[in-house]
Chains A and B, each alone.
Chain A
Amino acid sequence: MRENNAPVAVSSPVDLSTDGGSARVALPPSGLARRRPRGAGVAARLEIAALSAPAVIVFVTFVILPVFLAAYYGFFRWKGFGKPTNFIGLHNYKVILTDPDFHQALTHNIEIVVLSLAIQGPIAIAFALLLNQKMRGQSIIRVLIFVPYVISEAVAGIGWSLLLGGQGAFDALMRDWHLNFLDRDWLANPNVALWTLMIILTWKYIGYATILMLAGLQGIPEELNEAASIDGASYWQTQRRITLPLLGPTIRIWAFLSIIGALQLFDIVYIIWGQYVAGVAKVSTMATYMNTNGRSSGNFGYGSAVAVVMFLISLFIALLYQRFVLRRDTDGALTGGGRRTR
């Protein structure tokens, strides 16, 4: 909000290469920057303030402020009523970092991150390659595989737990097909539940990944493939030497979104396993841990501290990823301190 009152430099056209100095975001040149200056100093300032104030106020109040509040509440033992007074310093953090339940949840999160990348990535790329060929009915296939992504987590969770539950259709079907080894306790068995979760997550998000990859593939000029085939490259050589490298940026962005999503995973786990069973079935995540030990038990100071730990872990991984993986794609986005090297 403070930015609205800052002196406005409309009257002197700003060279954008210097404009980026205050914040290192790659912001493409604005339409007005190249234009001759016009007098409307005060009016323009008012317009800027009036147009951006509502969005900035709502955004700062409900997105930025809570994160800072979490950092503040995290230092207190607090039941959520009145003002937090019982300052306990880093005690909450000490408890979190030594709690085996949290270690378990974090381990599950990391397993989910790795498995999501390892399972969904290859499948999505393979199907995008498959669907990228000239074929009839491509658009209807695209719609159908995207449907699970559009269904709400609540519906998906309830549906899958009915499908896989004790008297569920899946086990019955497997018995009918005499595949008895596939008739198991999919949800409650701690040795199986994480894989069940991975199947459900793959089902839910693979359509999104495939559509992203397909979009990336369709951005690759056809001439390159034609040139490769003229040079005698086989289909697989073309895919491996030309398509995959050019798909790189899409894959890296998808992986980033997938990692962040997996670290924050809550809805599906909470709906299917509830808040207490998740730990027993070994599918608890940091977010379900936060919910169980924070709001559900009335410990808002502790819950806030868990949120801060989650945020720091996500931020750390995101920054590492940006620094070492995304750097070549994004022209110095969030972390762009490093010089762009080719």
Chain B
Amino acid sequence: MTATTVADRDVTITRKVRKPKSSKKLEWGNPFVYFVALCFVALMMSPVVYLIIGGFRSNSQLTVNPAGWPNPWIMDNYIQVLQNPVFWRSFMNSTIAAVATTIGVVALGLMVSFVLARYSFRGRGFLYTLFVTGLMFPMTVAITPLYILIRSLHLMNILPGVILPGIAFALPVTVIILVPFLRAIPNEIQEAAEIDGCGRMGFFFRMVLPLSMPGVITVGILAFIASWNGYMLPLYILNDPANATMPLAVQTFATGQYSADTAKILAFTSMAMLPAIAFFSLFERRIVGGLTGAVKG
């Protein structure tokens, strides 16, 4: 992470040189390894598969044989979920909250990380410590007074009441990931930009922004997923069902008026889970890579 781009390029070159050798080596390998890996994956995926498959069964099928296969396959539950205004309302709420949180985290995080990475001033160490210390202040500890604070700011029951704290709690990780990224941009680039008549702010927008894109994407994905899955904050702040986000809607659906309609709960829960999985599979390499960087960083 902290290595310069030049060093990174060296690594990719050596990797490219080595590749033909290693691809020759890539045989099927030990069947035992595949067997164990397959069992592990099956264990991990079975609850997810149960949710999705269960959504294709009727309640009577579920009662007669809870662990059976759909016979016949029924689309009704999914169709009804897709026609349910509650689903789409909470879907929109979650989307708005997650997108706004992501934009806010990236904008504020990039700005403050730029200051921390490329300016030298008294109090810089303190500012960095302040954000790193934030990791020790989890949402659980802050939630009771946060609720009072949000209420006195008149942000109860509206999405900004979830978005602003969401941004704040995502900032520590963002700063920790982005600062090394921004620092790794070689000074020569900045000097060249300066010679070409580019000020520090111009350098920020024209050079830093494009060069730090990989880090920004990682940070943005982490913020998006954290916001999309967030439960405790909406639970305290969004009491009005009209403003509920997806996790709250799932819980309300499962415990409220449909609590006896297991098949529909399975379908609703599956549909609520799909966006996060789709989003994750789109950016899988970034997330896994980002975690790697955060640990080594």
Contact = CB atoms under 8 A, between A and B. Distances in A.
**Of A32, A65, A167, A176, most B-chain CB atoms within 10 Å:** A32
Interface in B48-82: 48, 50-51, 54, 62-63, 65-67
B201 interface: yes
Contacts of A311: 137, 141
Contacts of A211: 288, 291-292
Interface residues of A, number: 118
Given A10-B121, A173-B67, A152 B273 contact: yes
B257 to A, nearest CB: 15
Interface string A1-43: 0010011111001100001111111011111111100001000
Nearest to B45: A144
A52 B171 CA distance: 12
A155 B52 CA distance: 12
Interface in A284-323: 287, 290, 294-295, 300, 303-304, 306-308, 310-311, 314-315, 318
Interface in B195-247: 200-201, 225, 228-229, 231-232, 236, 246-247
A62 B164 contact: yes
B48 A264 contact: no
Contacts of A13: 120
Contacts of A130: 33, 36-37
B132 A25 contact: yes
Contacts of B231: 152-154, 267, 271
Contact of A22 (B116, B126, B187): B126
B67 A51 contact: no
A133 interface: yes
Contacts of B138: 260, 264, 314
Given A23-B126, A62-B165, A267-B232, 6 more contacts: A32-B120, A59-B168, A62-B142, A215-B296, A271-B251, A294-B144
**Of B131, B168, B266, B287, most A-chain CB atoms within 10 Å:** B168
B270 to A, nearest CB: 8
Contact of A158 (B34, B254, B288): B254
B83 interface: no
A93 interface: no
B17 interface: no
A122 interface: no
Interface of B: 2, 22, 25-30, 33-34, 36-37, 40-41, 43-45, 47-48, 50-51, 54, 62-63, 65-67, 104, 107-109, 111-112, 114-134, 136-149, 164-165, 167-169, 171, 175, 180, 183, 185, 187, 190, 200-201, 225, 228-229, 231-232, 236, 246-248, 250-251, 254, 262, 265-266, 269, 272-273, 276-277, 280-281, 284, 287-288, 291-292, 295-296
A156 B47 CA distance: 9
20 contacts: A22-B122, A22-B125, A32-B118, A52-B116, A54-B107, A59-B130, A62-B167, A66-B144, A66-B149, A127-B37, A130-B36, A155-B269, A160-B47, A163-B50, A168-B66, A173-B66, A215-B288, A218-B292, A271-B231, A307-B144
B37 A30 contact: no
Contact of B140 (A80, A147, A264): A264
A105 B250 CA distance: 27
A325 interface: no
